[in-house]
Amino acid sequence: MSKSGLELTAAEWAIIHAVWDHEPCTAPDIQEILQHSKGWAYSTVKTLMDRMVAKGLLRPERIRNLILYRSVVTRNQAQAGEVLKTVRRAFNGAMTPMMQFLLDNGGVTEKGLNELEMIIKAKKQDLKGKRQETSGKRRMG
- Answer yes or no: CATH 1.10.10.10 is held by domain 1-107: yes
The alpha carbon torsion through 74, 75, 76, 82 (nearest 10 deg) reads 120
Q: What is the pLDDT of residue 15?
A: 97
Domain positions in the chain: 1-107, 110-141
d(CA 83, CA 10): 14
Q: Which amino acid, one-letter code, is at 98?
A: M
The beta strand positions in 65-121, using DSSP E, are 66-71
The answer to whether the beta carbons of residues 78 and 8 sit under 8 Å apart is yes
Q: Which residues of 91-106 are buried (b: 16+ CB within 10 A; e: fewer)?
A: eeeeeeebeeeeeeee
Under-70 pLDDT residues of the chain: 1-5, 136-141
User: In 10 A of CB 23, how many CB atoms?
Assistant: 16
Q: What is the pLDDT of residue 124?
A: 92
Q: What is the pLDDT of residue 1?
A: 45
pLDDT tens-digit series, residues 62-93: 999 999 999 999 999 999 988 888 899 999 99
Q: What is the pLDDT of residue 2?
A: 47
The answer to whether the beta carbons of residues 7 and 82 sit under 8 Å apart is yes
